[in-house]
Amino acid sequence: MKKFVAILAFAVLANISAKAQFVRYGASLANGVSYVADDLLTSSPIFAFTVGGYVDYMFTEWKNPWSENIYLRTGLNINRRGTNFSQDLSHMTSIRRGYFHNWYAQIPVIFGFRYELPQLAAGNYINFFFGPTFNVGLFGRLWDRQVTLRMPQYSNNYDTYVTGTKEDRASFKHLRRIDASIILGVGYQWHNFTFDVYMDHGFVALMKRADVLAPYDVAQNLNEDNMTESQKADRNAYTGTNQTFMISIGYQLPIQ
C-alpha cells in the first residue's frame, strides 16, 4: 500500500511538472516606510527600501480557463527595515530615544492572479498577489540613548554611540535575525513595466524582553498553580514586529 501511494504521488508530481513552466523573470525596486509597532515604545517610520529579482512559474497547460492568469513567484530581495522609537517616563524624569536600521535577505513565495483589462489595448494588466516570506538579518545599526535625572546608574544613562561598544551598535546583537512575514498587494502592468503597492506584515517579535508584570497578572487573574515557572519566563514583554508599506516599480521579460 505504501509503495502504491509513493508511486501515485510521484506520478502526480511528474504530471504537474510536465504542465508547468517558468514563463517570466524580472527585477523590481521599491521604496516606502517601515516601523516596528510595540506596546511599550512609541515608534515612527523610517525610509524602507527593497531591491530584488524574481521568476514566475505558471501552469500553462492545465485544462482550466484561469490557467493563464494564475502564477507562483519566488526570488531574492534585499530589504531595509527598521523604526525610530522613543519612551518618555515622566515619573522617573527619563527620556529614551533611538532607532533600528536593519538589512535583510528575503525569499518570498507569492501566489498571484493576473488579469488583462479587456477595455484597454493589449498589454494592460492588473495583479493581485499575496504569500509568505522568509527573512534573514544580514547587518544593521542600533542607536539607543537614555537620560534619567537623579538616577546616575549606567542602566539609566547611556548612549550606544558614546558609552557603548561596537557590539552595542550592531542591531542583530539585540534583535532576532530570523523573521517571517506575509505580503499582500495589488499592481498594474503596462507591457513589461510593473507598478505595485503592497504591505509586508511581520509576525515574529524582534527581541525577547522579560515581562515584569507577569507575576502581578498571575496573582490577580489566574491561579498561580496553573502556570508553570517556564510559562512565566516565556512570556515576552516586547511585541514589536516589522511593518512595511511599499510602492514598487519593475521590469520583466518572458522566458523564451
The set of cell numbers assigned to 214 is 507577569
Distance, CA of 96 to CA of 89 (rounded, Å): 8
Quote helix, strand, coil % in the chain, to nearest 5: 20, 55, 25
**Amino acid letter, residue 221:** N
pLDDT score for 91: 67
What is the predicted pLDDT for the residue at 222? 52
Instruction: Quote the CA–CA distance of 30 and 50 in Å, as a whole number.
Output: 5
Going by C-alpha positions, the residue among 131, 26, 21, 27 that lies closest to residue 67 is 21
Which regions of the chain are under pLDDT 70?
A: 1-20, 60-66, 90-92, 210-234
**Bridge partners for 56 per DSSP:** 24, 73
Say what the pLDDT of residue 13 is. 42
What pLDDT is attached to residue 197? 98
| Best CA proximity match to 27, nearest among 54, 47, 63 | 54
Q: Which three cell numbers stand for residue 226?
A: 496553573
Element (H, E) at 145: strand 124-148
> Given the C-alpha cell 513567484, which residue does it identify?
73
Grid coordinates standing for 138? 544580514
pLDDT at position 75, please? Answer: 97
